[in-house]
A and B are shown apart, each in its own frame.
Chain A
Amino acid sequence: MLVRPFAALTAATICASCSQWDQPVNIPFIATWQGEPIDCSSEKSALTDLRFYVSNVQLVDAEGQGHDVRFATEMTWQNDAVAYIDLEDGTGSCQNGTADTYDHVLGVAGVREYHGLRFTVGVPFKLNHTNPLTAKPPLDDPDMHWHWRSGYKFLRAGVRTDDDGFWIHTGSAGCQGTVGNITGCTFPNRIEVVLPDFVVGEDAVSIDLTELLTGVDLDDATRSDCSSGPPEESCLAPFAALGIDFTTGEQNGAQRVFSVQ
């Protein structure tokens, strides 16, 4: 007699806090270069790669409170924790790419008014050190795995201008333990994105590669790259643009690459 009303009350509370998951969420992603869309076959400057994992997606209410977006899981590019975005189509300059593209995150959220979006570019630690040969999609793509560092490449991005170019791979580095038994990583290198004015259903997330490559000379006739390794000076500027302190792998400021479009 005492238990039953309490249980009903608890159920009501849960229902109120999570409300119904009735609000469809579709977050499109687009790539830009100097204010214009860029793809693998763009003239002069073109993409050479742009693929990344998104996790911890939240919509933000008027009080600044974040509310989880549940990923749809009936498609192979998303599971309940990670969504895979692939903005290259394997044509033109994207020689290492794939024909398939996945340019939006699909899910549901509770019904309420939202004023912003936040998410992480990266794979959560507890999923990051699985074997890509046995992992479930979208973590089963060896192109997105760093076999020698253990863990996934959170972001692969690259731009070519004429014969010059730059690419970056980010992911956790300086990990301890052994493959299959990783206990931690000194440099997490996850990118935290906060977009206060994002209107779900109207806006897209723009990845501005001009910002990512600020400080990279695309006219020095040297194809350079950053693989998130500790000795790589070529990583300093791109990591700063991504809001990560390259010496610690931790977020130390706002990223400038992802914006509301």
Chain B
Amino acid sequence: MKRTFTLIAAVVAAALVFVWFARDPAWDWSLPGEVPAPQVPADNPMSSAKVELGRWLFYDIRLSGNETMSCASCHIQALAFTDGVSRSIGSTGVAHPRSSMSLVNVAYASRLTWANPLLDRLEDQALTPLLGDRPIEMGLRNGVQRFGELLRSEPNYSELVRQAFPGDADPHSMLNGVRSIAAFVRTINSFNAPYDRYMRGDAQAMSESAERGMDLFFSERLECFHCHGGFNFTDSTTHAGNDVDRVGYHNTGLYNLNGVGAYPADNTGLFDMTGEPRDMGRFKAPSLRNIAVTAPYMHDGSVATLEDVIANYERGGRRIEDGEQAGDGRLSPYKSEFISGFELSAGERADLLAFLESLTDDSVLTDPRFSNPFVR
């Protein structure tokens, strides 16, 4: 009798321990010690089933209206989850006004997309590319129904969604689908670039040229770090231990139409959201991590190379000689005070480029955890 009781107690204890670990909310981010964990919405905790489901969905072309593109079509791993073209093309062939942004370390972005101050959760942002009709991106018509049917009809998804959302009476929902995609995207982290290894004490990780470039980057002379500072090289960064809302939008003097500071009508930046004249041409400073593999540059992909980007900042704004977009961005009344211009020698320019190249983390570009699960 006593033996039976002990056995039952042991089984119950083992079950409790199992349940405890299975439900442990602490997700292993596998981050270097100095890097804080990202914020995770309270209603969408991380789990391995959710991340696994999200990875499949991220690469699933059935989430576009005509089954031709997935999230990964505009967010290609080898290009740090950008797409290499100036303006992304949607599933029906319509060009987006904007260039695809990198998803690397997007879990740390205090705001999402190029210039939307309202969007701070990937779960909300995902609805625009999936369902938006101006422009059509993935164009998932009747998305709520189709997303639900996909989760129900695909056995692998149906099992994963039940594991990922165990308390949900009807887990096969678009809501849970976008939660899963968001959870997967939060895992795409990069802190293993030569720059990171150098900062962790490996003096050989960066070349001497890159070291000199780093000094230039963080100098008051060049001012780069004011907008591209912090561990993620953008001033719009947050993390789990942070409760200050930091987000920066900047006019970099890229356009000055008609001499009044205007930007092309389909790409006015923060102004499009707020209607405030002072917000004309203000866009979020993107993270510079992996910047060497994410050409072309700027919100509209209108600058082909990093050399050209640096040249615009040296000049204190871009000058467009003729055509509809003619104008001297250096003279824009809306330009950020940090875009004041500077002069570089040829050697310094090479050093700055070497530093920017030291931000490329080859591991995130090849990590099988982030790769296409449909390709075996």
Contact = CB atoms under 8 A, between A and B. Distances in A.
Interface of A: 96, 131-134, 140, 142-143, 145, 147-150, 169, 173-175, 177-180, 182, 186-187, 225, 227, 229-232
Interface residues of B, number: 28
Interface of B: 113, 116-121, 124, 127-128, 131-134, 141, 143-144, 173-175, 178, 265, 268, 271-275
A131 B124 CA distance: 8
A175 B175 CA distance: 23
A231 B274 contact: no
A12 to B, nearest CB: 46
A160 B301 CA distance: 33
A-B residue pairs, 6 tightest by C-beta: A230-B275, A147-B127, A133-B175, A179-B124, A147-B128, A178-B120
Given A133-B174, A230-B272, A148 B120 contact: no
9 contacts: A96-B133, A131-B175, A133-B144, A142-B143, A142-B144, A147-B124, A179-B119, A182-B118, A231-B272
Contacts, number: 72
Given A133-B173, A148-B119, A186 B274 contact: yes
B121 A179 contact: yes
A178 B119 contact: yes
Given A142-B127, A225-B134, A149 B119 contact: no
B304 to A, nearest CB: 27
Name, among A147, A169, A173, A229, the residue most crowded by chain B CB atoms within 10 Å (CB to CB): A147
A148 B128 CA distance: 6
B285 to A, nearest CB: 19
A186 B144 contact: no
A145 B127 CA distance: 10
A176 to B, nearest CB: 8
Nearest to B113: A148
Contacts of A150: 118
A175 B116 CA distance: 11
B270 to A, nearest CB: 10
Contacts of B272: 229-231
A230 B274 contact: yes
A149 B118 contact: yes
B116 A187 contact: no
Given A140-B144, A142-B144, A177 B275 contact: no
A75 to B, nearest CB: 19
B273 A149 contact: yes
Contacts of B119: 148, 178-179
Contacts of A230: 268, 271-272, 274-275
B68 to A, nearest CB: 17
Given A133-B144, A133-B175, A140-B144, A231 B118 contact: no
